[in-house]
Amino acid sequence: MFHVKQFDLDVIVVGGGHAGAEAAAVSARAGARTELVTLRLDGIGVMSCNPAIGGLGKGHLVREVDALDGVMGRIADLSGIQFRLLNRRKGPAVQGPRAQIDRKIYRTAMQRELSSISNLEIIEGEVADFLMNGDTVAGVVLADGSEIRARSVVLTTGTFLRGLIRIGESATPAGRAGDRATIRLAQRMESLGLPMGRLKTGTPPRLDGRSIDWGILDEQRGDDSPVMFSFLSRAPAVRQISCGITHTNAATHAIIERNLTRSAIYGGHFESVGPRYCPSVEDKVVRFREKDAHQVFLEPEGLDDHTVYPNGISTSLPADVQSEFVRTIRGLESVRILQPGYAIEYDFVDPKALRSSLELRCAPGLYLAGQINGTTGYEEAAAQGLVAGLNAAMSATERESVSFPRTDSYIGVMIDDLVTRGVTEPYRMFTSRAEYRLSLRADNADQRLTPLGMELGVVATARDRAFADKERRLASGRTRLAGKSLTPQQASKLGIQVSQDGVRRSGIELLSFKNVDMRVLAEVWPDLADIDDGTAMQIQRDSLYANYEERQRKEIEAFARDENQPLPDDIDYMAISGLSGELCAKLDSAKPETLGQAGRIEGMTPPAMALILARIRLSERRRLA
């Protein structure tokens, strides 16, 4: 044991993946003396699987990370080689920005970004153990025996904890292809009594683009007007490319079916669960026998790289079977495989053991973020890294921890899902997970979160200024539009379909009607023509959802009343008569911090909630008496 004064640092972040990069950056931005320790310096910013960022739900997370001045969105914009807004034809609430990424540019730009942050040191090393101060984690021990003491430690080791790569019948310990697994730390974590389990995921073979017959394939182009991730970016930074589209077929499926027993996933070698929404090609063939083709996107991994990522055929079949089935696919008849696909199994920690600050309940001072918490995906990892790094810094500098309510952000939805429900399969974000998705849009992430970032002091001056300027333009645009109005008759004459109820509609209200945009209004009121496109578009999106949002705001207020009712850590659920044994056990293990979190535990019922509430009220009355 050692004395608190002997700390070398405020925060140590272990792992330089997507969670680690964001955790280290925000911790330093929050003013904490931070050190990032990672296995390989050149591994910082590596994308282990698909060369793409964003998508439905995931794009929302990137925008939210960006709104808090995180790094992922800006680096993705610098390295994006094809931008597409998914669900472009649907409403803005469910549109998700996505970009195909040049792996090398992403990695280099991330390494440059992190090394330019003041307050942040980066060193290469393997963390093998923790320094303990009683139950509290107070630093790390590296594999070479050196010790680093810090007030908080953020662990973001991804798929490395006892990682095991499987291809066919072979199994090799590894954190991912080309990286060694982390074994000693995993054993140490087990000895801390943490609830741990195994999960798995997989990746497809990498192809040599020079051996693909691109000429016969369908082309997928990026958007003509690319939508960026960061609120600070304006346009792509590098040349844009197209992807190819092809399909599996009956011959592909027959080879896979014939060799299923040789697949690591289907040969009975795995006990762990994989991502349901990112199935292997073996899974697709077995689960969807009625389908005679599955789509495969051929995604170039970079501008000066011949490697192609065939999105849709992740596999753990032996390498010879992979070559055979891949060559049955149109355009890939003579393809060369550069690296076989594989599956990886790894340890994760049950996230129910975490507080919503992502600090472990049983080991204060230790925060976990990323794949180690049972999630999958770069974006989910980055968003958790931001929460864990921020809270580690807050605690180390003796400030209040920061919580993200699920009513305000996708970040909040994910953290709440993880810590209250835990995971039974790798967790990924979807827009359907957010109850209040009409107000949690990718387009308004800055309006929802940048003020919080400014208050916490984690937003740099450039963003601060850009946000203040945007807010000014929005406020002025809204005031000017609110000052204009049309009667239903006037609106009809202009072709705007409003009900003839005699009620005048303001300029803002008119923007929510079909086929009305600022160009239409500027024809009626030419003095509005100088409102810039970005401001006009944002006011229009806000106005489109204004009525729903008002209803949602009332629901959120009602929800917040329960949501924010704190539940003491030491509440004895067994002593509440009327609660089933199963529910008591779940509550005891999840230790919800609020009544709202308790309500989302599987099997919870309104009467059970009433019993818990009554118990808290009784305890409060007794305390006051």
The distance of closest approach from Cβ of residue 195 to ligand FAD in the complex, given in angstroms and rounded to an integer, is 18
Q: Which is nearer to ligand FAD, 15 or 209 (CB)?
A: 15
Residue 220 structure tokens: 């997928």
What distance lies between CA 417 and its chain's CA centroid? 13
Give 517: exposed, middle or buried? Use CB within 10 Å, 0-12, 13-18, 19+. Answer: middle
Do residues 458 and 482 make contact, with C-beta atoms less than 8 angstroms apart? no
Count of CA atoms in the C-beta half-sphere (13 A) of 363: 24
Distance CA 612, CA 625 (A): 20
Q: Which is nearer to ligand FAD, 203 or 252 (CB)?
A: 203
Q: Which is nearer to ligand FAD, 119 or 159 (CB)?
A: 159
* Nearest Cα to Cα of residue 76 among 64, 88, 87, 62: 62
The distance of closest approach from Cβ of residue 456 to ligand FAD in the complex, given in angstroms and rounded to an integer, is 22
Q: Which is nearer to ligand FAD, 50 or 252 (CB)?
A: 50
Do residues 407 and 549 make contact, with C-beta atoms less than 8 angstroms apart? no
Residue 87 structure tokens: 């669900």
The distance of closest approach from Cβ of residue 515 to ligand FAD in the complex, given in angstroms and rounded to an integer, is 38
Residue 536 structure tokens: 């006009």
Distance CA 52, CA 86 (A): 13
Query: Measured at the alpha carbon of residue 594, what is the angle toward residues 591 and 598, in degrees to the nearest 5?
Result: 60
3-state secondary structure of 475: helix
The distance of closest approach from Cβ of residue 283 to ligand FAD in the complex, given in angstroms and rounded to an integer, is 12
Residue 168 structure tokens: 């066919």
Do residues 619 and 568 make contact, with C-beta atoms less than 8 angstroms apart? yes
Is the CA virtual torsion 486, 492, 496, 497 positive or negative? Answer: positive
**Distance (Å) of CA 7 to CA 190, 240, 241, 360:** 25, 48, 49, 20
Q: Which is nearer to ligand FAD, 14 or 332 (CB)?
A: 14
Which residues, listed in sequence order, are joined to residue 36 by a DSSP beta bridge? 13, 122
The distance of closest approach from Cβ of residue 21 to ligand FAD in the complex, given in angstroms and rounded to an integer, is 8
The distance of closest approach from Cβ of residue 563 to ligand FAD in the complex, given in angstroms and rounded to an integer, is 28
* Nearest Cα to Cα of residue 198 among 317, 314, 344: 344
The distance of closest approach from Cβ of residue 520 to ligand FAD in the complex, given in angstroms and rounded to an integer, is 41
Phi, psi of 433 (to 5 degrees): -75, -20
Q: Which is nearer to ligand FAD, 376 or 538 (CB)?
A: 376
Q: Which is nearer to ligand FAD, 42 or 400 (CB)?
A: 42
Q: Residues in the site for ligand FAD, rule: CB under 6 A?
A: 14-20, 37-40, 43, 48-50, 126-127, 156-160, 175-176, 182, 185, 201-203, 278, 344, 370-371, 376-378, 381
Q: Which is nearer to ligand FAD, 48 or 594 (CB)?
A: 48
Q: Which is nearer to ligand FAD, 375 or 439 (CB)?
A: 375
The distance of closest approach from Cβ of residue 562 to ligand FAD in the complex, given in angstroms and rounded to an integer, is 32
Q: Which is nearer to ligand FAD, 128 or 245 (CB)?
A: 128
Do residues 528 and 481 make contact, with C-beta atoms less than 8 angstroms apart? yes
The distance of closest approach from Cβ of residue 426 to ligand FAD in the complex, given in angstroms and rounded to an integer, is 8
Residue with the shortest CB distance to ligand FAD: 17
- Helix and strand counts by DSSP (H, E) for the chain: 19, 22
Distance CA 62, CA 73 (A): 6
* Nearest Cα to Cα of residue 49 among 264, 246, 344, 253: 344
Q: Which is nearer to ligand FAD, 103 or 591 (CB)?
A: 103
Amino acid at 342: Y
3-state secondary structure of 130: strand
The distance of closest approach from Cβ of residue 114 to ligand FAD in the complex, given in angstroms and rounded to an integer, is 12
The distance of closest approach from Cβ of residue 143 to ligand FAD in the complex, given in angstroms and rounded to an integer, is 8
Indicate the length of the chain as a whole number. 625
Q: Which is nearer to ligand FAD, 231 or 378 (CB)?
A: 378
The distance of closest approach from Cβ of residue 194 to ligand FAD in the complex, given in angstroms and rounded to an integer, is 15
